[in-house]
Amino acid sequence: MLKNDLILRNPIRLLAPNGKDMLPDGGFGAITARAGVGKTAFLVQIALNSQLEGKNVLHISLEDPVKKVDLWYKEVFRLLAEQYHVQQINQLWETILPHRFIMTFRAESFSVPVFDERLSGLIDQGIFSPQMVIIDGLSSEPPDRDLLTGLKLSAKENNFRSWFAVRSHRHEAPDGDGIPAPLSPVIDLFEAAIQLQPTGKEINVLSLKGGKTEDSQPDLFLDPSTMLIKDK
């Protein structure tokens, strides 16, 4: 019951046209924002919601060690539990933990063959089979098209969805469709894109692609004190 409550209360569902998920199997989604605005926290909340739904999430970090990524999950989950007054937090955490696997790579050595080899090892040995892959820390700007194309093929072959963090910059103007400059050259590879945009004391959550239309888009924001997604 606790799982269902948290899933139903998750505001990110409001961005999806069907109220469930913004991505099809094999689809790509991007979270784009300037450095320090909340991309990792947003990705972790997407991952936690999938874990609560009983889906396996592979989190790949190209910047932080496993322990730091794990701390992100524990802290965001603790804050979510506090926000929704969940009492049996430890019990629920133990229930969803088997649905997450963390991998770290050096950004400069991360490639499609390396990823496919590690992924095949997990699946073939029966260790972990992801339904969602989070990739945080791509260093190239814009993201490397060949790398994304290869990852897209892997996602389709293995039936998982992928969310990426893509850094934008204040001094770079978006393209004609409002897509931030680093993401614009590869936006055709993404089914969904979400922008975290600081406005005054708030961080607005804007669906740039794949979500509900602008006219019907709900007012979502990140609470700057907790980085949790909330609706207004």
Mean pLDDT, rounded, for 208-212: 80
Instruction: Calculate the alpha carbon distances from 229 to 18, 90, 213, 215 in Å.
Output: 19, 22, 19, 20
Cα–Cα distance measured from residue 48 to residue 142, given in angstroms and rounded to the nearest whole number: 27
Peptide bond into 24 cis (omega under 30): no
Q: Which two tokens stand for residue 49?
A: 């919601």
Provide Rg for the chain, Cα atoms.
Answer: 17
Dump pLDDT digits (tens) for 10-65. Answer: 777 777 766 567 899 999 999 999 888 999 999 999 999 999 999 999 999 999 99
Please state the φ and ψ torsions of residue 134, each to the nearest 5 degrees.
-105, 130
Question: Which pLDDT belongs to residue 101?
Answer: 98
Task: Choose between 55 and 182: higher pLDDT.
Answer: 55
Question: Which pLDDT belongs to residue 217?
Answer: 60
Share of the chain above pLDDT 70, in %: 92
**Are the beta carbons of 52 and 3 closer than 8 angstroms?**
yes
Cα–Cα distance measured from residue 202 to residue 188, given in angstroms and rounded to the nearest whole number: 29
Report CA dihedral (65, 110, 164, 131) to the nearest 10 degrees.
Answer: -90
Dump pLDDT digits (tens) for 192-209. Answer: 999 999 988 889 999 899
Mean pLDDT for all residues in the chain: 88
**Are the beta carbons of 164 and 135 closer than 8 angstroms?**
yes
CATH for 2-16+27-200, options being 1.10.340.30, 3.40.50.450, 3.40.50.1820, 3.40.50.300: 3.40.50.300
Is 60 exceeded by the pLDDT of residue 160?
A: yes
Question: Which pLDDT belongs to residue 20?
Answer: 65
Task: Give the confidence band of 232 by pLDDT, cuts at 50, 70, 90.
Answer: low
Question: Which pLDDT belongs to residue 18?
Answer: 64
Task: Give the confidence band of 104 by pLDDT, cuts at 50, 70, 90.
Answer: very high
Question: Which pLDDT belongs to residue 215?
Answer: 55
Question: Which pLDDT belongs to residue 225?
Answer: 87
Cα–Cα distance measured from residue 3 to residue 88, given in angstroms and rounded to the nearest whole number: 11
Question: Which pLDDT belongs to residue 155?
Answer: 97
Task: Choose between 139 and 217: higher pLDDT.
Answer: 139
Task: Choose between 108 and 131: higher pLDDT.
Answer: 131
Q: How far is CA 51 from the centre of its chain?
A: 12
Is 90 exceeded by the pLDDT of residue 163?
A: yes
